[in-house]
Amino acid sequence: MRCPPLLLTLVLALATYTAATIEEKDYWMNLGRSHLEHVLSKQPNTNLAKNVILFVGDGMGLATVTAARIFKGQQQGMEGAEKGSLVWETFPDVGLVKTYNVDKQVPDSAGTGTAIFTGVKTNMGVVGVDARVPKGKCDATQVKKASLDSIMQWAQASGKLTGFVTTTRVTHATPSSTYARSPHREWECNAKIPIGATNCVKDIARQLIEDEPGRNLRVIFGGGLSPMGVANYTGPDEEVCKRTDGRNLADEWVRDKESAGVRATFVRNNGELARVTPGEHDAVMGLFATNHMEYDAERDQGPEGSPSLLNMTTTAMRLLQKGPNGFLLMVEGGLIDQAHHQNYARLALMETVGMEATVQAVLEMTSREDTLVIVTADHSHTMTMNGYPARGNDILGMAHNSTKKQLFETLTYANGPGHYDHLNNATDRSSVYLDPSQMANRSDIHYRHFAPIGIKSETHGGEDIAVYAIGPFSHLFNGVHEQNYIAHAISCAGQFGPNADMCKSTKSAASGFGSKAHPIAIMLIFTFVRITLL
């Protein structure tokens, strides 16, 4: 991508904004024209993507992206924050992604993660195996036949360093889809594998440290001390897997690396993470919570506390940038999804903005010439942005001002636990629901937005999500794609894995013989066919 330099763009944009006010037609005519010039100036970048960084905002549907854009602007005191953008919204290429699983209209993170990382769509709830394996059904022969290789494996085979960073447990659905094969996403530790299936597959945590490609990962950052057998469960929220075999997989991982001459270390908190240096360490496992990590807004930032997604990612980058053949890093903003499941709209937006800061940091540490950065989601949620709130209205506020109509919030969920918080339980009640504008704890991060259907955990949404890309071959993301296409595009751009050769010849073809060959070849074939037919 060779766009006009950022400064020039800013100056142009500034000139545009000062020339006319938003009410005047000139404002919009100038804005439209300058964006058109920007789009016309785009050139495809056909360099080799030596490095690939893939961000997955778990559950980051389009309503979340739009709301986070406005939320971020409003937090910064920006006037008319609707016109702002998150950093990935300035990327040159964008596509839409169909997220359905082979067996479900609305997907889960295991099925979608498998599609993104292996190039094969599968069933909901299974990890790293194709849809011949029904969820929870363990037939050793079938699982073996259905096993998939991931982009991590493809990258490792071509000599790249690999790793992942997540804010969930390292054995949770999204990260495990990069390295594991299991008929059930919840078989994270030995205790969760049902009797009868124990001889069929290893638990996901063991696969991470014993099998390919997990054991070759150079960076593993996230939560999950419990499934890895490091400590007792004390963490928040979701049920967690507790090992019963007495194994400490983090210790075993370090010993396995060291016996292979790889300088490895295991870290548990900010203080220990800060002591990691690329000069002294080649492989680092960081487990910063028993279960999932804490929301960025709630974590202890001190030396005993846990790092932000940004800190984990920049540390990971420094370790992976050592490799002469480039690297592949997957970064998951995993708590966007966790927050939505609780109808915590504010937290979901905060986590999205936290991931944006991480994307920004990654862009600053890399070059557009050799690094492909992709930002996508695995699936959406049921949060919708609705009503006709005034421009500049608090994105977390009410959708209208009228005293004559029932009040509701701009960000409303279709279902979830927020339903119960909004019930009017008074015996002499005049309405089914409480007035949301009068709820005292609206600004609390644990305030639940309204949902008309009450269920314990809000569900995912099934509409398309977006994929944004910048760097070599970012133009492969353009149009409406099946989700499994993402792995194929990465393979092409990075020239590793099954499509390693498909992006190779493009550069010479565009400038030399290739571009003329097509019309000539087509003419020859056409002539040949005509002669044959006559």
Ligand X SMILES: *[C@@H]1O[C@H](CO)[C@@H](O)[C@H](O)[C@H]1NC(C)=O
**Which sequence positions are flagged as catalytic?**
109
Residue 337 binding target from Zn ion, ligand X, none, CB below 5 to 8 Å by type: Zn ion
CA torsion sign, 141 to 145 to 151 to 156? positive
Q: Which window, 130-138, 323-331, 393-401, 510-518, contacts ligand X (CB under 6 A)?
A: 393-401
CB of 480 to ligand X, least distance (A): 33
Residue 141 binding target from Zn ion, ligand X, none, CB below 5 to 8 Å by type: none
**Residue 379 assigned as binding residue:** yes
Angular region, 80: left φ>0, alpha ψ -120 to 50, beta rest? left
**Residue 58 assigned as binding residue:** yes
CB of 100 to ligand X, least distance (A): 33
CA torsion sign, 439 to 445 to 451 to 453? negative
The answer to whether residue 337 forms part of the interface with Zn ion (CB under 5 A) is: yes
The answer to whether residue 378 forms part of the interface with Zn ion (CB under 5 A) is: no
**Residue 340 assigned as binding residue:** no
Among 277, 441, 443, 508, interactor with ligand X by CB under 6 A: 441
CB of 70 to Zn ion, least distance (A): 23
Between 203 and 378, name the residue whose CB sits nearer to Zn ion. Answer: 378
The answer to whether residue 244 forms part of the interface with ligand X (CB under 6 A) is: no
Among 73, 213, 224, 307, interactor with ligand X by CB under 6 A: 307
Residue 378 binding target from Zn ion, ligand X, none, CB below 5 to 8 Å by type: none
Between 109 and 270, name the residue whose CB sits nearer to ligand X. Answer: 270
Distances (CA, A) of 204 to 70, 208, 404, 407, 444: 38, 6, 55, 47, 36
Q: Which window, 190-198, 286-294, 441-449, 509-517, contacts ligand X (CB under 6 A)?
A: 441-449
In this structure, the number of other CB atoms found within 10 A of the CB of residue 13 comes to 15
**Residue 419 assigned as binding residue:** no
Between 141 and 438, name the residue whose CB sits nearer to ligand X. Answer: 438
* Cα–Cα distance measured from residue 217 to residue 220, given in angstroms and rounded to the nearest whole number: 7
The answer to whether residue 400 forms part of the interface with ligand X (CB under 6 A) is: yes
Footprint of ligand X on 405-424 (CB under 6 A): 420-421, 423
Residue 232 backbone phi and psi in degrees, to 5: -75, 155
Q: Which window, 44-52, 120-128, 327-335, 392-400, contacts ligand X (CB under 6 A)?
A: 392-400
Structure tokens at 365: 């540490």
Which of these, 312, 305, 348, 349, lies nearest to 330 by C-alpha position?
Answer: 312
The answer to whether residue 297 forms part of the interface with ligand X (CB under 6 A) is: no
The answer to whether residue 332 forms part of the interface with Zn ion (CB under 5 A) is: no
**Residue 280 assigned as binding residue:** no
Question: What stretch of H or E contains 13?
Answer: helix 6-19
Residue 222 burial by Cβ neighbours in a 10 Å radius (0-12, 13-18, 19+): buried
In sequence order, what DSSP letters do the residues of 67-129 get, joined into one string? Answer: HHHHHHHHHTT-TTGGG---GGGGSSEEEEEE---SS-SS--HHHHHHHHHHS----TT-BSB
Residue ranges in 370-431 assigned as alpha helix (H): 418-421
Which of these, 331, 378, 371, 324, lies nearest to 355 by C-alpha position?
Answer: 331
| Torsion angle in degrees (nearest 10) through CA of 204, 208, 209, 211 | 90
Between 119 and 354, name the residue whose CB sits nearer to ligand X. Answer: 354
Which of these, 391, 359, 392, 361, lies nearest to 377 by C-alpha position?
Answer: 359
The answer to whether residue 242 forms part of the interface with ligand X (CB under 6 A) is: no
**Residue 337 assigned as binding residue:** yes
Nearest residue to the partner Zn ion, using Cβ: 337
Residue 390 binding target from ligand X, Zn ion, none, CB below 5 to 8 Å by type: ligand X
The answer to whether residue 226 forms part of the interface with ligand X (CB under 6 A) is: no
Long-range Cβ contact pairs of 82-89 (< 8 A, separation 24 or more): 82/391, 82/392, 86/352, 86/353, 86/356, 87/356, 87/359, 87/360, 87/363, 88/55, 88/356, 88/359, 88/375, 88/468, 88/470, 89/65, 89/468
* Cα–Cα distance measured from residue 126 to residue 114, given in angstroms and rounded to the nearest whole number: 8
Footprint of Zn ion on 28-87 (CB under 5 A): none
- 318 three-class SS: helix
The answer to whether residue 398 forms part of the interface with ligand X (CB under 6 A) is: yes
Residue 231 binding target from ligand X, Zn ion, none, CB below 5 to 8 Å by type: ligand X
The answer to whether residue 458 forms part of the interface with Zn ion (CB under 5 A) is: no
The answer to whether residue 282 forms part of the interface with ligand X (CB under 6 A) is: no
Write out the binding residues: 58, 172, 174, 332, 337, 341, 378-379, 460
Write out the binding residues for Zn(2+): 58, 337, 341, 378-379, 460
Contact set with Zn ion (CB under 5 A):
337
Contact set with ligand X (CB under 6 A):
231-232, 270, 273-274, 307, 311, 389-390, 393, 398-401, 420-421, 423, 425, 439, 441, 444, 446-447
